[in-house]
Amino acid sequence: TKTLRLILGDQLNSNHSWYKQIDTNITYIMLEVMQEQAYVMHHVQKILAFFGAMRNFAYQLQKKGHQVIYIKLDDEHNQQDFEKNLQRIIEQQQITRFEYQLPDEYRLDEQLKSICQKLAIETAYADTEHFLTERFDVKNFFGDKKRYLMENFYRYMREKLHILMQGDEPVGDRWNFDADNRKKYDGKVPLEEPIQYHHDVSELKALVDQMGVKYFGNVDAANLEWPLSRQEALKSLDYFCEHLLPHFGTYEDAMLQDHISLFHSRMSFAQNSKLISPAEVVSRVLIYYNQHQDEISLAQVEGYIRQVVGWREFMRGVYWAQMPGYEEKNFFNHQTPLPHWFWDGKTRMNCLNKCIGQSLNHAWAHHIQRLMVIGNFALLAGLHPDEVDAWYLGVYVDAIQWVEITNTRGMSQFADGGFIASKPYVATAAYINKMSDYCKHCHYDYKTKHGERACPYNSLYWNFFDRNAEKLQGNPRIGMAYLTLKKMKPDEKQKIMEQAESYLDRLNEL
Ligand code: SF4
């Protein structure tokens, strides 16, 4: 047999069993194709990071002695989609067997199944050997439950993998240290700079431009900051353990206008492209914690482990339990297009100006910026989840549909009607002011609900609950909001609603 094995751009797992042996009858193929640039408009850093990491990966495989065909975006024979390129190579190289690793995106999963059906040769697939769970583990865990609760799954994972466990009990007698991990940055410990790389990807950028790839966002192509190899991913992980983990949990929800990442690891690109596995991340973090228990509290570590072992695996499982169909959910029937400032950051709302500005400059923002500033506003303003999804999927360097759609459409926009979130993640300026320094520097007044400079979040918050009363007021977790609305003096309520309407009418001018 002459085998061709396809490696997708987010399957850069060099520890995969595929690569254990060098076999001259096996050829690996990696493709840069316009198909993957067109399903959504990407941030330029995302395109460059994926191409850069793919090229490194191919080079490393070749160096080890594997045979690799790497088709660049401007290769004269590039057919620009997977199917035509694969057919051409299979014919040309007289391939008798085709293999691929299970894609993490439904779209590609369907495409590869269909390609295999059409091919006249033997075909097979393998697991990516990356995640801690299988595609349908989450679905099987919850069975026919109407709602999936992450916390239940997380505890099951902790027990199953014996992570932070003492016998059957969680270390520290608590599963969850979330309550300790909600502090505003108080300057008590010095901030650390995020680890940044300085890849010169000017040539790649020129290629992307020459090929007419449509993109958005900003880049300094002489200094692309993302880890593009396994070695760099491991270096980022060590940097995280040493410099950031000691305060990760405490400040994981905090935001600062002059510091993009506080104590976040920014390992999401390395993990989602599979340069590094969750098992490695967890094991390194736990080893480091065990060696430095005098400097690092359990709350820091548990907070991080929950993101990797809990949320990340959970979201992937939700994706496979819900696809297809999840990408069309729109529980509130929101229809408003994105205001222009999603694309240029130019709004007087300082929190959005900074969070969107940062996203456009760095292709990255941390989860509270994504969820409680940008997503919060999108939900309050009734922006169409299709447009919100496309923006999130495009803008973030780590965004692949399995992780993006579940976090954005599900968790953040509540478009699934509460399948994964027990209540909508909405908040007024009080929350943003509590967790950040944005409000201090804002054109708007975070304390007022109506009036010329009233913060838009405040009136839109009450407008959101008021306009969605039919859908939400039966939810016991948001009873307080409806009680407050009910108790509001009618003229006060009217002023708030009028303020909200006036903002909704001119979102582009905010
Ligand atoms: Fe954002 Fe309102 Fe605070 Fe301004 S006042 S930074 S718009 S929350």
Mutate to test the pocket of ligand 1, among 341, 356, 432, 507 (most ligand atoms within 8 A of CB): 432
Whether 438 is in the pocket of ligand 1, judged by its Cβ within 6 Å, is yes
The reported pLDDT for the residue numbered 316 is 97
Tokens of 324: 């297809």
pLDDT number for residue 325:
96
Residue nearest to atom 5 of ligand 1 (CA): 446
Do 83 and 121 lie in one domain? The reply is yes
Mean residue pLDDT across the chain: 96
Last residue of a domain, one of 126, 147, 172: 126
User: Does the Cβ of 377 fall within 6 Å of ligand 1?
Assistant: no
C-alpha 65 – ligand 1 centre gap (Å): 56
- At 159 the pLDDT is 96
- pLDDT tens, residue by residue, 344-390: 999 999 999 999 999 999 999 999 999 999 999 999 999 999 999 99
Is there an atom of ligand 1 within 6 Å of 442 CB?
Answer: yes
pLDDT of 399 reads 98
Nearest to 480 by CA among 409, 429, 427: 427
What's the gap in Å between 246 CA and the centre of ligand 1? Answer: 30
What pairs with residue 165 in β-bridges? 170
Q: Which tens digit of pLDDT belongs to each residue from 253-265?
A: 999 999 999 999 9
372 and 311 in a common domain = no
CA 455 / ligand 1 centre spacing (Å): 6
* Residue 182 binned pLDDT confidence (cut-offs 50, 70, 90): confident
Q: Is 30 left (phi over 0), alpha (psi -120 to 50) or beta?
A: beta
308 lines ligand 1 (CB under 6 A): no
* Domains: count for the chain: 3
Residue 334: inside a domain: no
With respect to residue 224, please indicate whether it lies within any of the assigned structural domains: no
pLDDT of residue 106: 98
348 and 292 both lie in a single domain:
no
- Ligand 1 atom 3, closest CA: 439
Run of H or E including 353: helix 350-362
Q: How far apart are CA 296 and CA 305, in angstroms?
A: 14
Query: Where residue 389 sits, what CATH number does that domain have?
Result: 1.10.579.10
pLDDT greater than 90 at residue 179: no
ipTM of the complex: 1.00
Per residue in 433-483, pLDDT tens?
999 999 999 999 999 999 999 999 999 999 999 999 999 998 988 999 999
Sequence-ordered list of residues with C-beta below 8 angstroms from that of 299, at least 6 positions apart, any chain: 177, 180, 181, 249, 250
Among protein residues, the one with the nearest Cα to ligand 1's atom 6 is: 439
Average pLDDT of the residues in 323-335: 97
220 located within any domain: no
- Amino acid sitting at position 90: I
pLDDT for the residue 435:
97
pLDDT tens figures, 317-328:
999 999 999 999
Distance CA 34, CA 387 (A): 21
Q: Closest ligand 1 atom to the C-alpha of 349?
A: 7
Name, in order, each residue with C-beta under 8 angstroms of 488's C-beta and a sequence gap of 6 or more.
462, 496
In a domain, 49, yes or no: yes
The Å distance, Cα 190 to ligand 1 centre, comes to: 25
For residue 109, the model assigns a pLDDT of 98
147 and 78 in a single domain? The answer is no
372 CB near ligand 1 (under 6 Å): no
Question: What is the number of the ligand 1 atom nearest to the C-alpha of 429?
Answer: 8
Tokens of 108: 């590609």
Q: Among the three residues 126, 146, 167, which one is the final residue of a domain in this structure? A: 126
CATH number of the domain residue 119 falls in: 3.40.50.620
Q: Is position 394 within any domain?
A: yes
* Tens digits of residue pLDDT in 192-234: 999 999 999 999 999 999 999 999 999 999 999 999 999 999 9
For residue 295, the domain's CATH number is 1.25.40.80
Q: What angle do CA 285, 290, 295 make, to 5 degrees?
A: 90
Q: Is 406 a member of any domain?
A: yes
* pLDDT over 90 percentage in the chain: 98
Residue pointed to by tokens 């923002």: 365
Average pLDDT over residues 417-431: 95
Asked if residue 445 and residue 375 are part of one domain, the reply reads yes
Contact 226, 58 (CB under 8 A): no
Q: CB of 462 within 8 A of CB of 449?
A: yes
Q: For residue 9, give every residue at least 6 positions away whose Cβ sits within 8 Å of its Cβ, in sequence order, or none.
A: 30, 36, 50, 51, 53, 54, 273
Ligand 1, pocket-test mutation among 435, 455, 503, 509, most atoms within 8 A of CB:
455
Q: For residue 399, give its domain range.
A: 341-509
In this predicted structure, what is the pLDDT of residue 49?
98
Instruction: Give the mean model confidence (pLDDT) for residues 307-318.
Output: 97
If asked whether residues 155 and 299 sit together in one domain, one would say yes
Helix axes 44-64, 202-210, angle to 10 degrees: 120
Ligand 1, residues 351, 426, 436: which to mutate, most atoms within 8 A of Cβ? 351
Residue 184: per-residue pLDDT: 94
Cα(293)–Cα(291) distance, rounded to whole angstroms?
6
Residue 19: other Cβ atoms inside 10 A: 19
pLDDT at 436: 97
Burial class (CB in 10 A: 0-12, 13-18, 19+), 18: buried
The share of the chain scoring above pLDDT 70, in percent, equals 100
Q: How far is CA 56 from CA 14, 23, 43, in A?
A: 11, 21, 20
403 and 470 in a single domain? The answer is yes
What count of residues does the chain have? 510
Atom of ligand 1 nearest to the CA of 445: 5
Written as one letter, the residue type at 232 is: E
Question: CA–CA distance from 295 to each of 275, 289, 400 (Å)?
Answer: 29, 9, 35
Q: Do 92 and 153 lie in a common domain? A: no
Q: 149 and 296 share a domain?
A: yes
Question: CA distances (Å), 206 to each of 55, 200, 218, 223, 275, in order?
Answer: 16, 12, 14, 14, 25
Q: How many CA atoms lie within 13 A of 167 on its CB side?
A: 2
* Helix, strand, coil in percent for the chain, rounding step 5: 50, 10, 40
353 lines ligand 1 (CB under 6 A): no
| Ligand 1 centre distance from Cα of residue 456 (Å) | 7
> Is the CB of 414 inside a 6 Å radius of any atom of ligand 1?
no
Does residue 141 share a domain with residue 120?
no
- Which residue has a Cα nearest atom 7 of ligand 1? 349
Domain for residue 223, yes or no? Answer: no
Instruction: Answer yes or no: is pLDDT of 112 > 90.
Output: yes
Q: Band of the pLDDT at 240, cuts 50, 70, 90?
A: very high
Question: 3-class DSSP state for residue 16?
Answer: coil
Q: In this predicted structure, what is the pLDDT of residue 476?
A: 87
**Region 53-73: what's the mean pLDDT?**
98
Instruction: Examine residue 87 and state whether it is found in any structural domain, yes or no.
Output: yes
| C-beta 435 within 6 A of ligand 1 | no
The closest residue, in CA terms, to atom 1 on ligand 1 is 351
**Same-domain pairing of 181 and 293:** yes
State residue 493's pLDDT score.
Answer: 97
Give the pLDDT band (50/70/90) at residue 177: confident
**Does 416 lie in the same domain as 276?**
no
Of all protein residues, whose CA lies closest to atom 8 belonging to ligand 1?
Answer: 429
